[in-house]
């Protein structure tokens, strides 16, 4: 691991110049420059001061980053179907309920509808992939066709239905997760 390069990345990420970092640690700009270029190594005490000024500590600095999974395949999805209501929901990002947003793909049979969701703090987005859907928000409703999207604050109860005879599919995203 290149300590100097990692310090430089943290410094740039936090928006500090070498001089600003040096001032926070009672060091010289030249010393910070030498550390970042791997020309010198800081003592443990100095490294701790630098890291605290950058908003981290020794543990966080030397910890290996968690593997980043940004691609999810159809086999990763989990789905459930409600025959009585005529809908199928596929959670396309595993464990998305723990994230800041939760994308799902909803398939509505002709005449089908989702469950009704209670008001909550947050926002909801949908994109109609095929067919058309009617979005109910409180006592108002809007029709969205293929290629159109909808977006609203979830301050009233809401649900989506398919008033047509043919199947409709839409991507639905809630932030924070609520599905």
With CA atoms as reference, report the closest residue to 160 among 148, 174, 172, 147.
172
| Domain layout of the chain by residue ranges | 3-62, 74-175
User: What CATH superfamily is the domain 74-175?
Assistant: Jelly Rolls (2.60.120.10)
Give the model confidence (pLDDT) of 25-69 as tens digits.
999 999 999 999 999 999 999 999 999 999 999 998 988 766 667
pTM of the model: 0.64
**Tell me, what's the pLDDT at 98?**
75
Mean pLDDT, each 10-residue run in order, the chain (179 residues): 91 93 95 96 95 92 76 89 93 81 94 94 96 97 98 96 97 88
CATH topology of domain 3-62: 434 Repressor (Amino-terminal Domain) (1.10.260)
**Tell me, what's the pLDDT at 60?**
87
């Amino acid at each position: 691991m290149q300590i100097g390069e990692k310090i430089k990345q943290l410094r740039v990420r936090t928006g500090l110049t070498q001089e600003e970092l040096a001032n926070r640690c009672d060091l010289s700009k030249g010393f910070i420059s030498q550390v970042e270029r791997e020309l010198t190594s800081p003592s443990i005490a100095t490294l701790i001061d630098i890291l605290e000024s950058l908003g981290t500590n020794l543990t966080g600095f030397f910890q290996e980053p968690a593997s980043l999974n940004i691609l999810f395949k159809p086999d990763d999805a989990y789905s459930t179907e409600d025959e009585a209501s005529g809908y199928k929901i596929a959670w396309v990002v595993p464990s998305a309920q723990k994230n800041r947003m939760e994308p799902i793909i909803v398939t509505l049979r002709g005449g089908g509808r989702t469950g009704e969701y209670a008001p909550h703090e947050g926002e909801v987005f949908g994109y109609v992939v095929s067919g058309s859907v009617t979005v109910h928000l409180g006592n108002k409703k809007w029709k969205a066709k293929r290629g159109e999207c909808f977006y609203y604050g979830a301050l009233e109860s809401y649900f989506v239905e398919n008033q047509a005879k043919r199947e409709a599919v839409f991507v639905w995203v809630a932030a924070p997760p609520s599905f």
